[in-house]
Amino acid sequence: MEDEKAISIPVKDLTQLKVVLAAWYAFLRDVSDNFAREEYARFLKTPVIYDLAKDEIDVMFTGSQELLNEFRSHVLKKTDS
């Protein structure tokens, strides 16, 4: 857990938030065999932060650098199709 990293993705509205979260959960389901049940449960906890002053929503994803890089590749692969 000490090598855990975090990335955030800004979203514009609830519809976009649902899409981003669905992509994360689908990705985790696809790679869930690669880590323990406790890790999987921890990765499912995805903080959503609303900045009232800026009227912005940020979604925080946590995991190892490798997991986050795989997620980035997964998302980019889906958008290229």
For 18-62, how does the pLDDT look when each residue is reduced to its tens digit (9 = 90+)? Answer: 999 999 999 999 998 988 999 999 999 999 999 898 888 999 999
Residue where the block lists tokens 């190892």: 64
Buried b (16+ CB within 10 A) or exposed e, 44-59: eeeeeeeeeeeeebbb
pTM for this entry: 0.82
What are the DSSP E strand ranges found in 1-81?
4-11, 48-51, 56-64
Residue 43's nearest CA partner among 57, 58, 24, 59 is 24
